[in-house]
Structure 1
């Protein structure tokens, strides 16, 4: 008999937290009767809401959600890079497109992590380079290239925002503000698009500001970058994006196979067989990544994480995970309310600063970090890179617990303090 996973806990915009974030960003409280918009673009879902102050309270008067987020951005970039750099080897891209072995899944997960980091860097700069030492490849990427890949998705989020405003009966000119939250919302193209579409100057919430509130008790976090999902949520627009993305990558691989003798087989030997890949990171399709991200999230903000193939959790606000049911109390024990729990994010490979942010956004108490010094000529890891963690990624723990990490450094351990 198959176990049917429980329904996901709905995740909503927290009007009070959103109003506080807007007030902090603008330097003033929301006037009575005023309304503002919330544009939250997380790792695997997008929330649009209109919030109004009514008689001393703030309430959501319209809200919509779409399964669009940073993970889908990363999937589009993966397909783009495979076509841009065929010289990396037909066999390499075949392994990444259809990872059959544990080493292939680990390689693909590692590349997606690098792509996520590059995307975040392009929020601050115009150019970056994606390196994958395991395959001995380097792929330059510009902000212009990135924005050309994700422009359609960003426009889709603006469409949803427009629909939400119409549902609320609020004209953009009436807005007291437009608050942007979530890691992917820091993509400069998002602010540019909102400014052009609505004539409003958007403001960014503080990096760690939380504007989501689950209607039920906290369960396993819902926005993990690489999590296998049993079902994909219905989506009103852009249903063909994942199919097109998959086709794009497979066409590149197929074309490379046809001309393999010219392209070469730039595969690297001896990939590390570490943790199994999981994925909402590509948010593409089962064929491309054999993983996809769900839109639901808990009250925690996003982060990056990598659970194992069987649905074990990872990072904050992060990808889709099957909610965890509380065990039914026995007749002999009194019924008590379960402590809030969450899915431990996968922070291995992140910097210490990124790890702190991911753990905090996942809702856990904090990070306890320990340094491990390496030789000056040991380039196996970057300075401040997380090389180990406890509890294991994907395990379910009380949110009151801390996550212990070990980071690598070659100079001073204090350089990695957060």
Structure 2
């Protein structure tokens, strides 16, 4: 196991995402994890056993535990993101089960956006596919710190060591080109159907001495909740009760996005640049001595300032510089293409402002790990670097410094649908000589890795 760095732990909660191409057996693997960790109710397992028998199967089809939509069961594919919850004595897990088909890449982006680890599946008979490379690229661009490759259906290649090692080597090379250090990428040969190396070691792979998939999930060190990061607090609502008991009360409600805040801390309100001191941290259960990421609180400041929804309260010495121009990476999620000059809405935190895409700087080729400069458009599921001009300055961070305040959404003003997910300051891999991963420069993970 890789040693935990400062700010990382091997206990508590792990958020992970799974992804794989169609027919790689991802639903069966997730079902196997739930079954072998005893996270399935008896009536659920009975229902799956009956449904499997109706299909003429001798053993329960564990994929039926997770393919909840009728279309998923009928087509044998995963369509939507589904969140599964399970636990072992060592750790609690929130698993985002994401689709594998290219048509649903946008859903995969959603599932991976909060993941600390991604499990990518491949069929041992087919090896790395286009979707495998795409999913790894999405994970890298979103800053997912750890990758695990599950080489599934190892039983269908006779538990061949050479097949597994060839696939694992190819994936390690691909992940390295994306910016992943070797210690952040692991591979394991599994058979989700039989259970080999999922929760229990397999006697059929004596040549594999590494941990099972579940052991990897239990022991991989993950980042904490960024309590030591610069303080960030998007204001959601201004509370002015105007009652006889509280005639002058003015509080700012929201959720701590990063960092820790305490009474007495000096803060800056962006984008206006106003400064004040935190006088009190209120909740429905009374005041708090401090607040940390994920906590919903009301901040009372020592000065009566003009603050409203959409403003960002940040540490006075680490407040972000508001920007009207955003240089960002987008995953385009809309059916209609994106072209220069397109007008959209940027939703950043609790603020939404009109904006225009002024330039398409590059489109990412996830197969070649290179960039096509100045494309004419970005189509559905394309990843590209763009420049956006906003009608108002936004207090954004670089995504590598703060995921919550370095990310944004692009919204179609005509119908309110989400058109893209954006990451501020996120670079694309560049391959100057165009000869593939071997000639690439360091990938997009930066110090997130």
TM-score by length of 1: 0.22
More helix by share: 1
TM-score by length of 2: 0.21
More strand by share: 2
- Of structures 1 and 2, the one with the larger relative CO (CA 8 A, separation 6+) is 1
